[in-house]
Structures are given as C-alpha cells and as structure tokens.
A and B are shown apart, each in its own frame.
Chain A
Amino acid sequence: SQQGEEDPQALSIQEGENATMNCSYKTSINNLQWYRQNSGRGLVHLILIRSNEREKHSGRLRVTLDTSKKSSSLLITASRAADTASYFCATATINNNAGNMLTFGGGTRLMVKP
C-alpha cells in the first residue's frame, strides 16, 4: 500500500515560475523525504524533514511538514528546464529490523518549459 500520495500527478509550468507539489500520508512518521527521478534514472535524495520540524530549505527547495494534517509540500522556486523530472515523497517509519523503512507515493511529473 502507498503511504504517501502526491498531488498533482502532473504539473507543467514555464521556466522561472514556482512549482508546488503536495504529499499526504496516513500514519505517523519519523521523517519525510523527497526524491527526484530523471527519466530512465534512479532516484536521487533531495531533502529530509524530521517529524518535529515544520520547514526546511535547501537551495531553491523549500519543504514544509504539517503532522496534524499529515501533509507535506515541496516548493521549487525559479524553476529551470533542468528541473523537469518526477518527484516522489517517501515517508519513513521506524522498523527495528529494517531501520529506515521508506514508503513511496506515486510521484508528481513536473515539466518545465523553456
């Protein structure tokens, strides 16, 4: 079962605009991570936000977490054509045997037009 669900499933914007993707989840988490996947490639870790954090920044990325609403958002500011990719949220729960167990959502496909 998928813990995280991204919204929208697809997003198309012009270069320079901001892109916002949302993720909702169902159960308590330890942290939430965002990954990026370029077409035909593996996933690359972007940012991790802990359950006791509300906002985190990394370069042009801004992530928020609202544990009361069980939701997170990823904002990419001043988007570039090179940001075109699929973006996945992954919720991490504690598992004594497996450590960092990640459950992935279905992803948001972002297209940034030059």
Chain B
Amino acid sequence: NAGVTQTPKFRVLKTGQSMTLLCAQDMNHEYMYWYRQDPGMGLRLIHYSVGEGTTAKGEVPDGYNVSRLKKQNFLLGLESAAPSQTSVYFCASTIGQSSYNEQFFGPGTRLTVL
C-alpha cells in the first residue's frame, strides 16, 4: 500500500513553461486535494475533487488547472509558470465526506520557477 504518491519530486521551470504534477492514491479515496506551501506559511488549498470527473476551486486557484479523469489520480497543471508559483506542492486524499476523516498527504513536489 503506497498511500499517496507524487511525481515528480523536484522540478525547475522557466517562466512561461508548462508542466503537470501527478498525484496518485491507492486507498480508494473519494476526495483529493492540491495544496501549496510557501516558506513560513501553512498549506493553502488550490483545487480539490470530490470524485472522479469533478473538480472545484480552493483558496488560491489562479494560474492552475486540475483534472480527475480516474478516481486514483489527480493532476495539477500549470499552463504558463510564473516565479510566484515557486513553492512546495502537496497532494492529499481522504476517504469521504465525513468531516471527521483525516487527510493523507503525499511527500510533496518542490517546484522552482526561474
């Protein structure tokens, strides 16, 4: 049971380039989330998904797009990267709608935009 995995672990982009971050979970969780973590700050929610084929905006969605074509995968896309998107990105999942469920986090992707 791998839990939540993220690829890649590190990436360096130039301004204007695009990339996709992949999150995969093998726990059959319905809900998945993408967060970003900036130095000295907590995590901020970018986008989330409550099931296959659904996505919704979080607190800081601008500049990002997401897709959930398969239940186990949640993709985060940057169409035109900006230096302000330099951050560590975390994916998380949880089993369902109950508010008493913990979220399980991946190890993170460290992205630098030059």
Residues of A participating in the B interface, judged by any CB pair closer than 8 Å: 1-2, 4, 9, 30-31, 33, 35, 40-45, 48, 50, 88, 90, 92-94, 97-107
The dominant DSSP class at the B interface is: loop
A-B pairs, top 9 by smallest CB distance, nearest first, are A104-B42, A42-B105, A99-B97, A45-B102, A43-B105, A104-B43, A30-B99, A100-B99, A42-B107
Q: Which of B37-88 contact A (CB under 8 A)?
A: 40-45, 48, 50, 56, 59
Beta-carbon contact of B31 and A43 below 8 Å = no
Residues of B within 8 A of A104 (CB): 35, 42-44
Give 5 A-B contacts (CB < 8 Å), ordered by A residue: A2-B41, A42-B108, A93-B99, A98-B48, A104-B44
The verdict on A48 contacting B43 (CB below 8 Å), with A99-B96, A99-B97 known, is no
Beta-carbon contact of B103 and A42 below 8 Å = no
